[in-house]
């Protein structure tokens, strides 16, 4: 692939990424409208035709690795490992 083809592909990729971003924003807006309706109706489950929408509270427990590292750095270092990955970026 020559330079002009790469440039064309990069521009096409950026256009597609922008479309995805706009579609995600629109989808989030629609989600928020549905959530607002559910709040108005004071419900965690809404039946709309063949669709059932659930917006429920979920309780999770997460490990606070930052606090653990501060208090038990030796154990933290003993049980952590480094991984290698590759990152793809395009800059202007």
The pTM of the full predicted model, rounded to 2 decimals, is 0.74
9-39 pLDDT, tens per residue? 999 999 999 999 999 999 999 999 999 999 9
CA angle 72, 61, 36 (to 5 degrees): 140
Burial class (CB in 10 A: 0-12, 13-18, 19+), 34: middle
17 phi/psi in degrees, rounded to 5:
-65, -35
pLDDT band at 92 (very low <50, low <70, confident <90, very high): confident
Task: Spell out the residues 6+ positions from residue 47 whose beta carbon is closer than 8 angstroms to its own.
Answer: 53
Distance CA 35, CA 41 (A): 10
Higher pLDDT, 49 or 92: 49
């Amino acid at each position: 692939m020559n330079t002009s083809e790469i440039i064309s592909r990069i521009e096409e990729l950026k256009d597609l990424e922008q479309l995805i971003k706009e579609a995600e924003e629109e989808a989030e807006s629609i989600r928020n409208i549905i959530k607002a309706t559910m709040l108005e109706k004071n419900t965690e489950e809404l039946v709309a035709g063949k669709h059932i929408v659930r917006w429920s509270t979920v309780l999770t427990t997460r490990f606070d690795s930052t606090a653990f590292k501060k208090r038990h750095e030796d154990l933290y270092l003993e049980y952590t490992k480094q991984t290698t990955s590759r990152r793809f970026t395009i800059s202007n």
